[in-house]
Amino acid sequence: MAETKESAPDFTKVSDENIKNFNRDEQKKEDKKWGYDLYPERRNETYKTTLKNIFMGKEGTENIDKFKCEQNVWKCINKSPMVKLMMGALKSSGCAIDIRRHISCEACDYSVSGGYDPMLNQIVVCQNVAKNEGLVQGVLTHEMIHMFDYCNNDLDFKNIDHLACTEIRAANLTHCSFMSAMIQGDASIFRIKKAHQNCVKTKALCSVLAVRKVTAEEALAAIDRVFPKCYNDLEPIGRRIRRNSTDMHRAYLEAPYYGYDV
Contact 236/260 with Cβ under 8 angstroms?
Answer: yes
Query: Is beta strand 122-126 parallel, antiparallel or unpaired with respect to 114-117?
Result: antiparallel
pLDDT confidence of residue 204 = 96
Give Cβ neighbours of residue 114 (< 8 Å, ≥ 6 apart): 108, 123, 124, 125, 126, 129, 130, 139, 140, 142, 143
Give me the active site residues, please. 143
Evaluate the CA torsion angle 176, 250, 167, 35 in order and state its sign.
Answer: positive
Residue 156 CB coordination number (10 Å): 12
Measured CA to CA in angstroms, residue 115 lies from 55, 108, 130, 185, 197 at distances of 27, 10, 12, 25, 23
27-80 pLDDT, tens digit per residue, is 445 545 556 678 877 766 666 666 566 656 666 688 899 999 999 999 999 999
Where are the alpha helices (H) located in the chain, listed in sequence order?
Answer: 11-34, 51-55, 62-79, 81-92, 99-102, 133-152, 160-174, 178-184, 195-211, 216-231, 247-254
pLDDT category at 2 given cuts 50, 70, 90 is: very low
Whether residue 4 is predicted with pLDDT greater than 50 in this model: the reply is no
Please name each of the domains of the chain with its CATH number: 60-152 (3.30.2010), 154-250 (no CATH)
15 burial level (CB within 10 Å; 0-12, 13-18, 19+): exposed
pLDDT confidence of residue 117 = 93
% of the chain exceeding 90 in pLDDT? 56
β-sheet with 114-117: strand ranges across? 103-106, 122-126, 114-117
pLDDT confidence of residue 177 = 63
pLDDT confidence of residue 82 = 95
Q: What is the DSSP letter of 187?
A: -
